[in-house]
Amino acid sequence: MAQAFDLIVIGAGPGGYVCAFRAAQLGLNVALVEKRATLGGTCLNVGCIPSKALLSSSEHYVFAKQHAAAHGIKIGSVEIDLPGMMKKKDAVVSKLVGGVAQLAKARKIAVVSGTATFVSANTVSVSNPGAQPAELTAKAIVIATGSAPVELPFMKFDGQTVVSSDHAISFDSVPKRLVVVGGGAIGLELGSVWSRLGTEVTVVEFLPKIVANYDDDVVRNFARLLQKQGIRIETSAKVVELRRDGPIPVLVAEREGQKLEFPAEKVLVSVGRRPFTDGLGLEKVGVKIDDKRRIIVDGQLRTSVPGIWAIGDVVAGPMLAHKAEEDGVAAAEWIAGKHGHVNWDLVPAIVYTDPEVASVGLGEDAAKQKGIAVKVGKFNFAANGRALAADAADGYVKIVADAKTDRILGAQILGRGAGELISEVVTHMEYGGSAEDLGRTIHAHPTLSEAVKEAGLAVSKSALHAL
């Protein structure tokens, strides 16, 4: 006998659990199906959160080791306690996933543990090893099963030498050499962590530049700063094989016919993520997918099958937790017959290295490619008092505005705290704000955010602390 709900959400990542929470707030009777032992999905368990814990810890280590003395702090010998660092990371994760579980319970959401498979358009079967599958039925079902790391066919993940981000947050010792295949956010963040802890890190990128979505000038400066920290970056290099015949594995890549060899104890493959819909039985109920295996949805996140919705990484768009959350809220509202809203043009993206890089909307290069006339304002953190005091003088803020209307079309920030700073630009953009609006809004002094204001002023060449 199937248990009946108003809504079943499959997958308890940031998209799924937020969707369930919002639906419960709106009075729906919700089941949340999750195959992991804990809620929170990739993001909380093996993604954004643990990597940020390691990034913070390793940043403290670098400070203690390299920068404290310049601040007049004598520390003496500094050592890494890797198990201690992992313990800290695990504590952050378990606090958060526990919090999500508590909230789910308080909202009277039925959390069902197991792997869901569609039986029909309104019924799923949830199976657990060694137990009877349970059948759940609902008027609406949201697929929020997220994504998984893409595997290279000639070097599959083995968890030892060839690893994904899932493993690279849990090495039990600091590897001597690490090759990161793919210079995107995940690879650069985890590469940074291990580089700071003493690993020789080489990033091998297929494209001519790392973090390919950013403007050329931002990437150039970013890459230079990473290289200064000791990370080696090899672009336009195609990985062809992993040789394991010697004493240590050697990653072989090709650039313009030349062979490049990178010996390494560990190879982190971070070439992207793929929508994860394995085992859902989409074909059985007729949910259509596109050529990249993403579930096809309309403007209200409805799939080709009435009553089935899809959100987050399984649909087209940036695979980012905050985008999935907005999808989840909107889907819950639409399902409850209310008006949902997501502005998919304004999804900020951040690389949490040091310095961070953050972007939203249209970059300068992209605007030029599209033939949009823009004015660009830049302001260097080197001219910002707070940045100088905080050793955060690297990088700059860049605001891209429509040449005619001055409306902000996008922003890219390279610098410490870029991820926090980008938010106010998103807010201005959400309300149709102009660069002048940004420049005429009071920013407290001294703060890093003054650089954002000055970049807004710089669009009309009226920055006060720069020429």
Binding site for another protein (CB under 8 A): 402, 404-407, 430-434, 436-437, 440-441
- Put the strands of the sheet holding 258-263 in their side by side order: 238-243, 250-255, 258-263
Least separation in angstroms between CB 344 and another protein: 15
Report, in Å, the least distance between residue 325 CB and another protein. 20
For residue 60, indicate whether it is catalytic.
Answer: no
Distance CA 383, CA 89 (A): 35
Please say which residue, 249 or 456, places its beta carbon nearer to another protein: 456
Q: Minimum distance between the CB of residue 457 and another protein, rounded to whole angstroms? A: 11
Instruction: Specify the residue, 97 or 459, whose C-beta has the smaller distance to another protein.
Output: 459
Least spacing, CB of residue 14 vs another protein, in Å: 24
State the minimum distance, in angstroms, from the CB of residue 402 to another protein: 7
The three state secondary structure string of the chain is CCEEEEEEEECCCHHHHHHHHHHHHCCCCEEEEECCCCCCHHHHHHCHHHHHHHHHHHHHHHHHHHHHHHHCCCCCCCCCCHHHHHHHHHHHHHHHHHHHHHHHHHCCCEEEECEEEEEECCEEEEECCCCCCEEEEEEEEEECCCEEECCECCECCCCCCEECHHHHCCCCCCCCEEEEECCCHHHHHHHHHHHHCCCEEEEECCCCCCCCCCCHHHHHHHHHHHHHCCCEEECCCEEEEEECCCCCCEEEEEECCEEEEEECCEEEECCCEEECCCCCCHHHHCCCECCCCCECCCCCCECCCCCEEECHHHECCCCCHHHHHHHHHHHHHHHCCCCCCCCCCCCCEEECCCCEEEEEECCHHHHHHCCCCEEEEEEEHHHCHHHHHCCCCCCEEEEEEECCCCEEEEEEEEECCHHHHHHHHHHHHHCCCEHHHHHCCCCCCCCCCHHHHHHHHHHCCCCCCCC
CB of residue 173 vs another protein: minimum separation in angstroms? 51
90 vs 430 by CB, closer to another protein: 430
Residue whose CB is less far from another protein, 51 or 434 = 434
Among 322, 341, 443, 445, the one annotated catalytic: 445
Give whichever of 38 and 441 is closer to another protein, judged by the CB atom.
441
In this complex, which beta carbon is closest to another protein, that of residue 59 or of residue 406? 406
Task: Indicate the residue among 249 and 361 with the shorter CB distance to another protein.
Answer: 361
Q: Between residues 81 and 430, which has the closer beta carbon with respect to another protein?
A: 430
The answer to whether the CB of 145 falls within 8 A of the CB of 14 is: no
**Residue 434 C-beta: closest distance to another protein, Å:** 4
Q: What phi and psi values does residue 357 have, to the nearest 5 degrees?
A: -125, 135
| Whole-Å CA distances, 105 to 21, 112, 247, 284, 376 | 10, 12, 52, 32, 49
Min. distance of Cβ 460 from another protein in angstroms? 10
Residues taking part in catalysis: 445
